[in-house]
Amino acid sequence: MQNELNIVGIQSDLAWENPAKNLTFFEQKINTLSKNTDLVVLPEMFTSGFTMNPKKVAEKMDGKSISWMLKMATENNFAICGSLVISEQGNFYNRLVFIHPSGKIETYNKRHSFTLAAEDKVYTSGTEKLIVNYKGWKICPLICYDLRFPIWARNTQNYDLLIFVANWPTIRIKAWCTLLKARAIENMTYVIGVNRTGKDANNYEYTGNSLVVNFFGEETSKLKNNEVGVIKSSLVKTDQDYNRKKMGFLNDKDTFKIML
C-alpha cells in the first residue's frame, strides 16, 4: 500500500470535436509533470468537448485516443483517466476510461445523463459503479452530472478517493464547488474535480474551477477562473483513515438499495 498518492488534474480549453488537437495539448502538459506523479485526471469528453454529435468523434476501445492513453500511462509509469465518446455494439457511451501503468484498462459509463442537453437521447447510461484498486487506494470515478446525485456517490464501498471529471458551465459553477465539498464531507473522502475552461460550439462558457478537497471538505489545491494548467495535490491515506476512525461518521450511514 502506498500511503501518499500524488495526483494531477489537467484543466484545458477543449478544442471542439478535435481529438488530435486535444491530445497534443494534454501530451504537452503531461511532458512537464514530475516523475513522482501517480495519477493524471483529464476532463469529461477530453477529446471533443461535451458534444451531442457522437458520430463525429466516437471511437472504439482500440481507437487512437485509448492507444494514446495507454502510451501515456505505460511510458510515464502513472495511471491516467478521463471520459470520451465510445461506440460499442450500436450504442454511444460517455465513458470514463482508467488506465493503470501496467496497461490494465477499467471503465465506467456515465450513470446520470444530462437531460437538459438531451444527453439521454444520444448516449446510453451506465448501470454499474466502478471501484478501482490502485497502489492500495480504492478510487471511485464519476462523471459531471453524477455530482448532483449523492446516493450514487455514497461511500458504501469504503473508497479513499472520489473523482469527478466534468464540462460544468460557468452559469452553475457555484453548485460545482459546493457539491464537490459536500460529497467529500458526507463520504469522509478526498475528492478531485477536474473541469474545462473556454467556450464550446454551443456558446456555453466554462471557467474551470478544478479543485481538490480533503475529507473535511477543505480545499487543498485549486485553479483560478479560466486558468489553463494543472492542479496538484499529495493525498495521505493514513490521515484520512485516522480521522474516519476518530469521527466514526461512516459507521452511522443509512443502508439502502438503488433501484435501476
144 is catalytic: yes
The verdict on whether 44 is a catalytic residue reads: yes
88 and 126 Cβ atoms separated by less than 8 Å: no
Active-site annotation holder among 129, 140, 144, 181 = 144
CA distance 65 to 58: 10
Rounded Cα distance between 156 and 141, Å, is 14
110 is catalytic: yes
The span from the first CA to the last CA of the chain, in angstroms, equals 34
HEC per residue, 122-180: HCCCCCCCCCEEECCEEEEEEEHHHHHCHHHHCCCCCCCEEEEECCCCHHHHHHHHHHH
Catalytic residue among 17, 59, 110, 237: 110
Q: Which active-site residues does the annotation give? A: 44, 110, 144
